[in-house]
Structure 1
Amino acid sequence: MPPAPEASAAGRGTAARTPAPRRFNRKRRRMYALGGILLLVAVAVALVLGAFRDNLLFFYSPSDIQAKQVEPGTRLRVGGLVEAGSVIRGPGTNVAFTVSDGAKTLVIHYDGLLPDLFREGQGIVAEGRLEPDGTVTAEQVLAKHDETYMPPEVVDAMKRAGTWHGEGTPEGSHQKLLKTGSGDPS
């Protein structure tokens, strides 16, 4: 008499083993690997965005700094016109000057060589940090490069303040330069 099916399966020990646990383990390993990869990608994206944010410089006019209550220690770019009579030269290469957007003013301290085109009444952009006393300690000062060019950020800030009296936009001066093909945009 042949053994009962339950007895033969139990006798061989095959009823307890099925391919399902092996597939489940393979699936589980795949899920862990996918989860690990996603975690690494998320960490990489967070690091890149953090580095990008730390190196991002926002442009502000003196009016923007006061209106938006920018935090001291913030790295920024500030621009405007150097006010007449505001340039004070200290020992060595130290200099302090005031920039204005026509509505508000801001004192900028700089220790370094100023660009050759830097002078009172000209547009500049300074990159640096806002100090707790409301001044800016600049790491770099950029001056406009000819008598018709003004940085677009400065023009926009002056237009918002209602003090822009120039013709058109700074892009207009670039268009003249492109049309004439010479170094003189007039």
Structure 2
Amino acid sequence: MLRGRIKFIIAIAVIVVTLSYLVYGGVKEAKVYYLTVGELKERVPSVYTDKVRVSGTVVPGSIKKDLDGGLEFKITDGERTLDVHYKGIIPDIFKDEVEAVVEGVYTPENVFQANVLLAKCPTKYESLDGLEKGENI
């Protein structure tokens, strides 16, 4: 009877340790800092090894598509700019002066290698034809 209890306690301990390890690994992997361009630049060089998410406005005229399907552009927080290289699906609303969020790593070459690109939708609806609310077509 005592042997059965010891085996049961050992099995429970193994399960608890395994679940703790999986939860710790998942939280560590999912943890991503959310920074502005200025905050990212202030954390150099400690930020080189971290996966981070950076938000900023796309600098007008900075969007360039590569021949291999990549995208190079700059984002700004109004004071500092960040060179971004991205390869992946480009959101439909991505264009100059759109607020963008990029996720990836900042390299010692001062280039942000993004593996996720999000373009924020405008917070206010703007009519394409310039009509004011309540006007007839």
Q: What's the TM-score once normalised by structure 1's chain length? A: 0.56
Match of 1:65 in 2: 40
**Aligned residue among 1, 6, 21 for 1:46:** 21
| Counterpart code for 2:98 | Q
d(CA) in 2 for partners of 1:57, 1:89: 27
Give the distance between the partners of 1:83 and 1:52, measured in 2 at CA.
34
Note the C-alpha offset of 1:73: 4.0
Spell out the pairing of 1:12-161 with structure 2 (5 A cutoff).
26=2, 30=5, 33-69=8-44, 70-146=46-122, 148=124
How much does 1:45 deviate? 0.8
Partners of 1:119 and 1:135 lie apart in 2 by: 20
Paired residue type of 1:128: G
The answer to whether the 8 A contact 1:93-1:113 is kept is no
- The runs of at least 4 aligned residues of structure 1 exceeding 3 Å deviation read 28-33
Report SS of the residue matched to 1:71: helix
Greater relative contact order (CA < 8 Å, ≥ 6 in sequence) = 2
Higher helix residue share: 1
Shift of 1:124: 0.5
Structure of greater Rg? 1
Offset at residue 97 of structure 1 (A): 0.9
Q: CA RMSD in A?
A: 2.5
**Number of aligned pairs?**
124
8 Å Cα contact 2:40/2:47 also seen in 1: no
Distance in 2 (alpha carbons) for counterparts of 1:118 and 1:34:
56
Is this contact kept in 2: 1:72–1:134, CA < 8 A? Answer: no
Contiguous gaps of at least 5 residues in structure 1: 1-24, 150-186
Corresponding residue number in structure 1 for 2:131: none
Distance in 2 (alpha carbons) for counterparts of 1:75 and 1:90: 24
Question: What is the percent sequence identity of the aligned residues?
Answer: 27
Shift of 1:109: 0.3
Gaps of 5+ in 2: 126-137
